[in-house]
Structure 1
Amino acid sequence: MLRSLYNRIQRLSARKDAVWWMSAVSFSESSFFPLPPDVMLIPMCLAQPKKLWFYTNICALASLLGGMVGYALGYYLFESVGRLIIDLYNAQESFQRFQDMFAEFGPWFLILKGVTPIPYKLLTITAGFAHLDLTVFILCSIVARFSRFYMIAILMHFYGAQVQAIIEKRLMLVTTVLLIVVVGGLLSFKFI
Structure 2
Amino acid sequence: MLRKLYDWTLSLAARKSAQWWLAFIAFIESSIFLVPADVLFLPMALAKPERAYRYALIATIASVLGGIAGWYLGYHAYETVAKPVLEMYGKLDTFERLRNSTSADAILLMLITSGLAHLPPIKVVTILSGAVGVNIWLFIVSAIVARGARFFFLAWLLRSYGEPIREFIEKRLGLIAGAVSVALILLFIAIKYLH
1:163 maps to what in 2? 165
Corresponding residue for residue 117 of structure 2: 116
Partner of residue 98, structure 1: 98
Instruction: In structure 1, give the amino acid aligned to 2:126.
Output: T
* Alpha-carbon contact 1:102-1:109 (below 8 Å) kept: no
CA–CA distance in structure 1, aligned partners of residues 154 and 111 of structure 2? 19
**Shift of residue 103, structure 1, vs aligned partner:** 4.0
SS of residue in 2 equivalent to 1:158: helix
Q: Which residue of 1 aligns with 2:20?
A: 20
Alignment-derived partner of residue 127 in structure 2:
125
Residues 102, 127 of structure 1: 8 Å contact kept: no
Q: Percent identity of the aligned residues? A: 35
- In structure 1, what is the Cα distance between the partners aligned to 2:160 and 2:33? 30
- Name the counterpart of 1:170: none
- The C-alpha deviation readout for 1:7-35, integer Å capped at 9, x for no partner, is x957x524321101111111011111111
Query: Over aligned residues, Cα RMSD in angstroms?
Result: 3.1
- Corresponding residue SS for 2:118: coil
SS at match of 2:55: helix
Q: Report deviation, 1:137.
A: 0.7
Counterpart contact for 2:111–2:143, Cα < 8 Å: yes
How many residues are aligned here?
171
TM-score (norm 1): 0.77
Structure 1 moving runs of 4+ over 4 Å: none
Contact 1:13 / 1:43 at 8 angstroms: preserved in 2?
Answer: yes
Residue in 2 that maps onto 1:143:
145
Q: CA deviation at 1:155?
A: 1.5
Task: Please tell me whether the aligned partners of residues 64 and 145 of structure 1 are also in contact (alpha carbons under 8 angstroms).
Answer: yes
Q: Is the 8 A contact 2:46 2:163 kept in 1?
A: yes
Residues 43 and 23 from structure 1, CA distance in 2 versus in 1: closer, same or farther, beyond 3 angstroms?
same
User: 1:81 deviation in Å?
Assistant: 0.4
Structure 1 CA distance, aligned partners of 2:165 and 2:105? 39
TM-score computed with the length of structure 2 as normaliser: 0.76
Q: Which amino acid aligns with 2:98?
A: F
Partner Cα distance (1:112, 1:102) in 2: 15
Give 1:157 shift: 1.8
Deviation at 1:97, TM superposition (A): 4.2
Assess if the C-alpha contact under 8 Å between 1:110 and 1:123 holds in 2: yes
Uncovered stretches (5+) of structure 2, i.e. residues with no partner:
186-195
The amino acid of 2:103's aligned partner reads F
SS in 1 for 2:66: helix
Pick closer, same or farther for the CA change 1:138–1:43 going to 2, 3 Å. Answer: same
8 Å Cα contact 1:26-1:62 kept in structure 2: yes
The superposition leaves residues 110-148 of structure 1 with CA deviations (integer Å, 9 ceiling, x where unpaired) of 223321124211000000001001111111111111112
Classify the secondary structure of the residue corresponding to 2:117: coil
State the match for 1:171 in structure 2: none
Distance in 1 (alpha carbons) for counterparts of 2:39 and 2:165: 14
Secondary structure at the residue paired with 2:150?
helix
